[in-house]
């Protein structure tokens, strides 16, 4: 276990002059050799710049591609910056966004957006409600063999949804109509949302958070005759809000990006979310019309990027907390 890891980290250190920077700057106060220090700093900044450029390049290639005409995509020498994004051409807005309008018309993106929003918001709310209620019960209510139920929920973490796609599909598409007399859930919103509405991760996360809340507040509330639902709504939820927001964001990202399950459970274009819809557009336009395809890709990515820019601290810190405390 240990030896391959060690070999790996040595490789990193050997290739990165950066860890030297740390030594340089931490001893810097006494060293006084300003030149060495600033050289190390310079190397550090250069490395950060290189890193950011390297990671962002595919996204820049996507954005510039979305504004290129198909001639600009094909010609040599390479056109790096599309004419549509040159400052003197911004006047003609139609020419600049022609790929976007074409993509929007090539597939029912309005429908895809609505579907994605329904699946994401509906799924997130159900997951959050489930997590809050279960976590509250596990944290504050007495029940015989309560821990057994907790283990039963946690054990579901070990069954990834990818493993159960076939039987779940059979359950919704065959067993529901044939055995229970319920109309098939194939091609329905409930078929896309409900199988993912249970949550073990959220239950675990919120239960930990609830147990960490100061006990005396609850005791005081109980002495005042406060019932459990009042306690949950008025005290526990407001106090645990940051964790709940974090979980809601993580859940939202996962639902928006979900691909395999909606791909299987839908067979009509009108029911597909963005992630699935865009791959069908890609199959149709393929590598003949990258400009339009890149514009369509931006349709899928832009909302999440916006959410991330707005809430990145919540998301990153939430994910780190889950990992480092787990």
Interface of this chain with other proteins, residues 258 to 297, rule: CB under 8 A: 259-260, 263-264, 274-276, 278-279, 282, 287, 290, 293-294, 297
30 contributes a contact to other proteins by CB under 8 A: no
225 contributes a contact to other proteins by CB under 8 A: yes
57 contributes a contact to other proteins by CB under 8 A: yes
36 contributes a contact to other proteins by CB under 8 A: no
Tokens of 195: 């199988």
Q: Which of residues 150-169 bind other proteins (CB under 8 A)?
A: 152-153, 156-160, 162-169
Contact 200, 154 (CB under 8 A): yes
Helices 274-285 and 109-140, packing angle to 10 deg: 150
* Contact range with other proteins by CB under 8 A, out of 84-92, 102-110, 198-206, 234-242: 198-206
Contact 321, 266 (CB under 8 A): no
Q: Which of 199, 246, 251, 266 binds other proteins (CB under 8 A)?
A: 199
Distances (CA, A) of 149 to 156, 203, 253, 325: 11, 12, 28, 22
Q: Which of 115, 134, 246, 266 binds other proteins (CB under 8 A)?
A: 134
DSSP characters over 144-213? TTHHHHHHHHHHGGGS-GGGGHHHHHHIIIIIIIIII-PPP-TTSHHHHHGGG---HHHHHHHHHHHHTS
Q: C-alpha angle 118/121/122, rounded to 5°?
A: 70
Contact 26, 57 (CB under 8 A): no
Tokens of 44: 């550090």
Q: Which of 97, 106, 114, 198 binds other proteins (CB under 8 A)?
A: 198
In the three-class reduction of DSSP (H, G, I as helix; E, B as strand; rest coil), residue 29 is classed as: helix
149 contributes a contact to other proteins by CB under 8 A: yes
| Minimum distance, C-beta of residue 78 to other proteins, in the bound complex (Å) | 5
Contact 231, 239 (CB under 8 A): no
Q: Looking at beta carbons only, is 44 or 122 nearer to other proteins?
A: 44
Provide Rg for the chain, Cα atoms. 26
Q: Which of 84, 99, 195, 251 binds other proteins (CB under 8 A)?
A: 195
Give the binding-site size for other proteins (rule: CB under 8 A).
116
* Contact range with other proteins by CB under 8 A, out of 37-45, 89-97, 117-125, 206-214: 37-45
Q: Which of residues 173-192 bind other proteins (CB under 8 A)?
A: none
Q: Looking at beta carbons only, is 92 or 219 nearer to other proteins?
A: 219
Q: Looking at beta carbons only, is 12 or 95 nearer to other proteins?
A: 12
Q: Looking at beta carbons only, is 118 or 319 nearer to other proteins?
A: 319
Q: How many CA atoms lie within 13 A of 112 on its CB side?
A: 25
């Amino acid at each position: 276990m240990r030896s391959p890891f060690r070999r790996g980290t040595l490789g990193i250190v050997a290739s990165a002059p950066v860890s030297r920077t740390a030594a340089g700057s931490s001893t810097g106060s006494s060293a006084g050799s300003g030149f060495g220090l600033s050289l190390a700093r310079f190397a550090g900044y250069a490395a950060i710049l290189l890193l950011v450029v390297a990671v962002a390049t595919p996204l820049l290639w996507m954005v510039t591609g979305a504004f290129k005409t198909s001639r600009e995509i094909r010609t040599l020498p390479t056109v790096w910056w599309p004419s549509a994004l040159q400052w003197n051409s911004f006047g003609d807005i139609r020419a600049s966004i022609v790929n976007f309008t074409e993509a929007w018309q090539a597939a029912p993106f309005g429908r895809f957006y609505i579907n994605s929003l329904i699946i994401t918001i509906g799924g997130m709310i159900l997951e959050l409600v489930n997590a809050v209620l279960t976590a509250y019960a596990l944290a504050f209510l007495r029940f015989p063999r309560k821990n057994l139920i907790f283990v039963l929920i946690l054990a579901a973490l070990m069954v990834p949804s990818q493993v159960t796609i076939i039987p779940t599909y059979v359950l919704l598409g065959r067993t529901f109509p044939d055995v229970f007399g319920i109309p098939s859930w194939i091609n329905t919103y409930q078929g896309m949302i409900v199988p993912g509405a249970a949550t073990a991760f959220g239950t675990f996360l919120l239960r930990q958070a609830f147990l960490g809340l100061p006990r005396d507040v609850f005791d005081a509330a109980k002495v005042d005759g406060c019932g459990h639902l009042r306690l949950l709504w008025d005290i526990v939820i407001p106090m645990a809000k940051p964790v709940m927001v974090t979980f809601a964001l993580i859940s939202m990202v996962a639902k928006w990006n979900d691909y395999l399950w909606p791909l299987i459970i839908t067979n009509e274009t009108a029911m597909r979310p963005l992630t699935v819809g865009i791959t069908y557009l890609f199959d149709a336009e393929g590598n003949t019309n990258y400009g339009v395809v890149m514009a369509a890709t931006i349709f899928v990515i832009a909302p999440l990027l916006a959410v991330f820019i707005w809430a990145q601290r919540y998301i990153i810190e939430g994910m780190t907390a889950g990992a480092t405390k787990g």
